[in-house]
Amino acid sequence: MKEVTPFLWFDTQAEEAATFYTSLFDDGKITKVLHYGSAGPGESGSVMTVDFELAGQKFMALNAGPQYRFNESVSFLIHCDTQEEVNRYWSQLTEGGEPRPCGWLKDKYGLFWQIVPKLLFTLRDDPDQVKGQAVMAAMLNMGKIESAELQRVYDNA
């Protein structure tokens, strides 16, 4: 079976970022760190790539210079079971970063995340489109997504 591994380009912070990300997830782990050798192009001995896992998903981070930056066109969605999980991930990932609308944020490394309670999808996908659209409208007006508010909107639609 083929694997698809997100490959993340950093200036020089690949190991620092991987260490941070793996600290957020109970099963997060760094699985390999490779260093540049004499062939370059990075400085010999400096970190070239870091392989790590989050929630069973493999990632690779590369230190390759400042030429490319992350943007909103790619983000990682964390499906949260509880509001407490939403609050924890939101707090940790926005520290040094920037909150965005609709549950999105940019972390301190410039990577974009969506921190979303599973409840959003349950309520939004209700066969009653009036309720689903009311939930969608409420979510579009939020920064961090608040489950209690989504439920209130749903119940009152």
For 104-119, the pLDDT digits (tens) are 999 999 999 999 999 9
Q: What are the domain boundaries of the chain?
A: 1-68, 70-157
Angle at 91 between CA 108 and CA 16, to 5 degrees: 35
User: Using 50, 70 and 90 to split pLDDT, how confident is the model at 1?
Assistant: confident
Question: What's the average model confidence in pLDDT over 71-80?
Answer: 96
Mean pLDDT value across the chain: 97
Judge whether residue 68 has pLDDT over 90. Answer: yes
CB atoms within 10 A of CB 124: 17
- C-alpha 43/C-alpha 149 separation (Å) is 51
**Bridge-based pairing state of the strands 47-54 and 29-35:** antiparallel
Q: Is the pLDDT of residue 54 over 90?
A: yes
CA dist 103 and 111 (Å) reads: 14
CA 154 to chain centre: 26
Band of residue 90 on the pLDDT scale cut at 50, 70, 90: very high
The sign one gets for the Cα dihedral 61, 62, 66, 72 is negative
Q: What is the pLDDT of residue 107?
A: 98
Q: What pLDDT is recorded for position 40?
A: 82
- The H or E element that residue 132 is part of is helix 129-140
Contacts of residue 124, defined as CB under 8 A and 6 or more positions apart, other chains included, come to: 132, 135, 136, 139
Q: Which fold has domain 1-68?
A: 3.30.720
* Per-residue pLDDT, 138: 98
Q: Look at residue 131 and give its three-state secondary structure.
A: helix
For residue 93, the Cα-to-chain-centroid distance in whole angstroms is 8
**CATH class of residue range 70-157:** alpha beta
- Mean pLDDT of the 14-42 span: 96
Query: Percent of the chain scored above 70 by pLDDT?
Result: 100
